[in-house]
Amino acid sequence: MTEKNRFRNPHFDKRKQSIKQIIHSLKMEKKLAIAPHNFQFPNPRQLNESETEPSACWLGHSSFYLKCRGFHLITDPVWSQRCSPIPCLGPKRRQPVPYALNHFSKVHFVLISHNHYDHLDKKTVLKLHTLHPQIHWIVPIGVAKWFKKYEILNVSELAWHEEFHCTQDGESITITAVPTQHFSGRGLHDRNKSHWNGYVMTFKNLDHSKKAYFVGDTGYNPHDFKAIGEKYGPMDLSLIPIGAYRPRFFMREVHVNPEEAVMIHQEVKSKLSIGMHWKTFKLTSEKMHQPPYDLYQSLEKHSVSTCHFRVLEIGQTIQW
């Protein structure tokens, strides 16, 4: 849905906050519990890992390497030291990437949620294209032209609820674009001229099916995630952002906080969720170690087990 040739969010809260409300919000945030430096989110290691079972490896920020039913995917790959249009400026990587790009012997699909620099990284895209020229790139409306500038043509743009389908060796994958609440732009004049997506991946063979949900960047609203859960759920795996959420008066429309991440987990009927969009780049005012602590408190509040909503180490792989 566009307004003056720019995409918009149908469920934005358009009420303007007064200066008084903003000051009150900032004062309240100062009273929020600070994560103890010795806090450790429970992170049980899996035993008896199997190469044949679906797996997810967190590569930092919103990047994952997913394997299921013979298909190998990467989400929002960013390997650069800074996420910025200017290489020497902008947020600097706080944690090293766990693997070089040539570590991945197979990559069939790459999912791009939107075109911000911490999700669409030119150097990484070009390197992946060189290593795996057969990659099929799945992107939101308006993003394919960026790829064409670099002569990358194996790209499919998906509008919300559009599908991409592929079958190989008796197994299939369907990738469906779903709503998120965010924005786009890489320069001064292109704000919201391309769209932003989440993705539901449905993997099938003769015996079983599995569903994974890559949320992308998003704020919370009481409409989208309930609808996604009703139409596409339950999810076997959900990758949900838990970082870059303070100050709330500024970030609430475009970045969920950990409690809202738990609400998304519940609304899409997720069997297992993994927190993302934290620990890698310092984007907002909360401390780097704060998101897992706030998530832990929210899971307790909503009676959700830490076994069902995980926080991983960068480079850690779990099965789903």
Percent of the chain with pLDDT strictly greater than 70: 93
pLDDT at 47: 58
Residue of 30, 42, 120 whose CA lies nearest to 83: 120
Specify burial of residue 289 (Cβ count, 10 A radius: 0-12, 13-18, 19+). Answer: middle
Distance (Å, rounded) from C-alpha 111 to C-alpha 118? 14
- Alpha-helical runs (H) found in the chain: 19-30, 122-131, 144-149, 224-232, 248-251, 258-267, 290-301
User: Tell me, what's the pLDDT at 52?
Assistant: 83
Which domains, ranges and CATH numbers included, belong to the chain?
53-238 (3.60.15.10)
pLDDT value of residue 279: 98
pLDDT tens profile 222-262:
999 999 999 999 999 999 999 999 999 999 999 999 999 99
pLDDT in tens, 25-82: 666 676 677 999 899 999 987 756 677 899 999 999 999 999 998 999 999 999 999 9
What predicted TM-score, i.e. pTM, was given to this entire model?
A: 0.96
Q: Which pLDDT tens digit goes with each residue over 265-307?
A: 999 999 999 999 999 999 999 999 999 999 999 999 999 999 9
User: Around 316, how many Cα atoms within 13 Å sit in the side-chain half-sphere?
Assistant: 14
pLDDT digits (tens, 9 = 90+) for 118-136: 999 999 999 999 999 999 9
pLDDT surpassing 80 at residue 2? no
- CA distance readout (Å), 32 to 5, 227, 240, 243: 40, 31, 22, 16
